[in-house]
Structure 1
Amino acid sequence: MALVLLLSVPASAAELRGEVVGLSDGDTLTVPTTDRQQVRVRLAEIDVPESRQP
């Protein structure tokens, strides 16, 4: 049943180009778009310390 649910969810990806203007945690960053909106991007499958971790 779990396999059926995983296969039924469409995967999507988008390309985002820009300058990083902020870091929330080790794996979360903020990038402005061309229409001046700020997008928070979370990087997947990386192992970095969180903001309060040594």
Structure 2
Amino acid sequence: MRGLSPHAIDDAVCTVLPFPTVRRVGKIRRTVEVLSDRTGKGGNQYWKQVIAG
């Protein structure tokens, strides 16, 4: 969140959309594993690819 002060992040509002994860546990774990190893553009690119799918 480049350009935002820590106070702006603390005051941010978000909406959590629950969804069934029973059939996606493997995909979620694999995504976390890959993102743990990637930072910067590589991580952002992978994340965008995952959410586009």
TM-score by length of 2: 0.27
Structure with higher Rg: it is 1
More strand by share: 1
TM-score by length of 1: 0.27
More helix by share: 2
